[in-house]
Amino acid sequence: MSELSEVADTLEARARTACAIVREAGAVALAAFRDHGSLSVETKGTQDWVTNVDLEVEALIRARLGAAYPGDAIVGEETAQDPEGGNTAWVIDPVDGTTCFMLGLPQWCVVLSYTVDAVPVVSAIYAPVTDELFHATAGGGAFLNGRPIRVSDAASIGDGLIAVGANAQGDPHKSAAFIGDLVSDGGMYIRVGACALALCYVASGRLLAAYEPRVMPWDDLAGMLLVREAGGRTNAFAPSLVCEAKRPVLVAAPGIWEAVAPLY
């Protein structure tokens, strides 16, 4: 077997593990989602909350990864955020879209990626409410529930929906100005509520593009790999898994990129 084939086999094995883990974690989160009386919520900062389910799900994912790959570093949103040396690490967002989750809205997901030198090479994103599992491997394509997906072949922003985010950490006026121009040009926009899901929807051709003004690596890395493997374009990956400042993410179908690039 060639060295390249061995690498591919390793990534596929890790992808299968990641998919199984996010499905299990998603089932735990979904049970809590349907029983809102069991939720406890704490404020981490402006427009930023954490629930007991975030913590429980991250602990479960860490335990499963520790059993499967005991030597691997793990970076999680809610707990340790330092890969502690080495060039590979798993990156967890236990519940992306916590605000939607705690308000009873369905736009949330469980996110897991495996990175080499802070670049994602495996991603698994599970949306429990719709039972949709997105996954990708570097060079291996992007999939939804096991079937290949591709970005839209649209060439005009008027051909579909574009996700645009805004938050207190970014410049809301920039997002507002883009939305104004978009609508004036015949386009339409949507606020998904979970960064990873918005990126999944671009990868699967449901959305033409997606922009979030300030995110962390656990928010965007998995979805960015998915978009690239589905034939789309993205801005550069974060230079580190322990970024001190949030950064924008922009992904789009190739025919839409130039129209939305001013956002970044």
- Is residue 227 situated within a structural domain? yes
35 annotated to bind ligand: no
Look at residue 252 and give its three-state secondary structure.
strand
- Is residue 154 situated within a structural domain? no
pLDDT digit string (tens) for 28-86? 999 989 987 666 655 654 545 567 888 889 999 999 999 999 888 998 765 655 556 56
Same domain, 21 and 91: yes
- What pLDDT is stored for residue 42 in this prediction? 59
Same domain, 109 and 135: yes
User: Which residue, of 116, 148, 180, is where some domain finishes?
Assistant: 148
Supply the CATH number for residue 244's domain.
Answer: 3.40.190.80
**β strands within the chain, DSSP E:** 41-45, 48-51, 74-76, 88-96, 109-116, 119-127, 132-137, 141-144, 147-148, 161-164, 188-190, 209-215, 233-234, 247-252
Contact 36, 80 (CB under 8 A): no
Domain limits at 60?
3-148
pLDDT digit string (tens) for 154-204? 999 999 999 998 776 667 787 788 888 888 888 899 999 999 999 999 999
48 annotated to bind ligand: no
Looking at residue 181, its amino acid is D
Looking at residue 215, its amino acid is V
The one-character DSSP state at 263 is G
Residues contacting 243, CB < 8 A, separation 6+: 216, 217
- Is residue 228 situated within a structural domain? yes
Same domain, 7 and 95: yes
Determine the average pLDDT of the residues in 198-211: 98
Give how many domains the chain has, as a whole number: 2
pLDDT digit string (tens) for 247-263? 889 999 999 999 988 87
Higher-confidence residue of 48 and 229: namely: 229
Q: Which of 26, 194, 24, 37 is nearest to 105 (CA)?
A: 194
Supply the CATH number for residue 120's domain.
Answer: 3.30.540.10
